[in-house]
Amino acid sequence: MKRLNTREKQAVMLAAGFIALFIVLQFLVFPLLDKKKRLKRRLRAEKNVLVDMQLLKAEFDAIDKNTKNLQSRIAVKKTGFTLFSFLDENAGKTGLKDRIAYMKPSSSPAREGPYTLSTVEMKLQMISMEQLITYLHAVETSPNMVNVRRLSISRAGKDKRVIDAVMEFETVDM
């Protein structure tokens, strides 16, 4: 082999340095930088998951609190409470008992839990809007957790102030 002169030695050394630098960058620095970027992305994703989990936990706690509140309200309902008699009694108190065309009670087991969903369809004829509002207020503000599921109002006859109302009420029983 020949001996290399100074200029050739410098060129070989420079090429070896570039190759060494390329190897260090390609196999050490760039992988570390890529891993750092992946870890930062993963950290951001995990933080988003944590925020979502905290929101879901807060929502679950609110639902759980509401469920416990409803269970306690159902538990303190008067024994022997029936939706039919409650609605009939309120119709008497508000002066609408003689305006009841019909009342159709029914009940079915709730989808979940040991509860029964009681419903009553009721038709009131020839009443004023004020009478209907008074009756609905008396029913819905009672502590018996009675809700209006459906309400249909139509004019009764030629008088625009007189209406017929068909309502469906529901409550949950133990």
More confident of the two residues 156 and 33: 33
Q: Say whether both 114 and 152 belong to one domain.
A: yes
Q: Say whether both 169 and 88 belong to one domain.
A: yes
Mean pLDDT score, 146-160: 88
Q: Say whether both 166 and 96 belong to one domain.
A: yes
pLDDT at 163 over 60: yes
Those residues with Cβ within 8 angstroms of residue 128's Cβ, 6 or more apart along the chain or in another chain: 161, 162, 163
CB 103 within 8 A of CB 86: no
Q: Say whether both 118 and 70 belong to one domain.
A: no
Total number of domains in the chain: 2
Q: Say whether both 131 and 155 belong to one domain.
A: yes
What pLDDT is attached to residue 78? 67
pLDDT in tens, 15-30: 999 999 999 889 888 8
What pLDDT is attached to residue 165? 94
Mean pLDDT score, 141-162: 87
CB atoms within 10 A of CB 59: 10
Show the domain range for 12: 1-76
d(C-alpha 163, C-alpha 19), whole Å: 94
Q: Say whether both 146 and 93 belong to one domain.
A: yes
Distances (CA, A) of 72 to 76, 143, 145: 6, 12, 11
pLDDT at 1 over 70: no
pLDDT in tens, 23-57: 988 988 889 889 999 999 999 999 999 999 999 99
d(C-alpha 136, C-alpha 132), whole Å: 6
Q: What is the DSSP string of 59-89?
A: HHHHHHHHHHHHHHHHHTSPTT--HHHHHHH
Q: Say whether both 51 and 130 belong to one domain.
A: no
CB atoms within 10 A of CB 89: 12
Q: Say whether both 103 and 21 belong to one domain.
A: no
Handedness of CA 135, 137, 143, 146 (dihedral sign): positive
Q: Per DSSP, which regions of 8-161 are E strands?
A: 100-109, 116-128, 147-155
pLDDT at 130 over 80: yes
- Where does a domain end: 76, 110, 137? 76
Q: Say whether both 88 and 72 belong to one domain.
A: no
For residue 100, what is the domain's CATH number? 3.30.70.60
Helix (H, G, I), strand (E, B) or coil at 17: helix
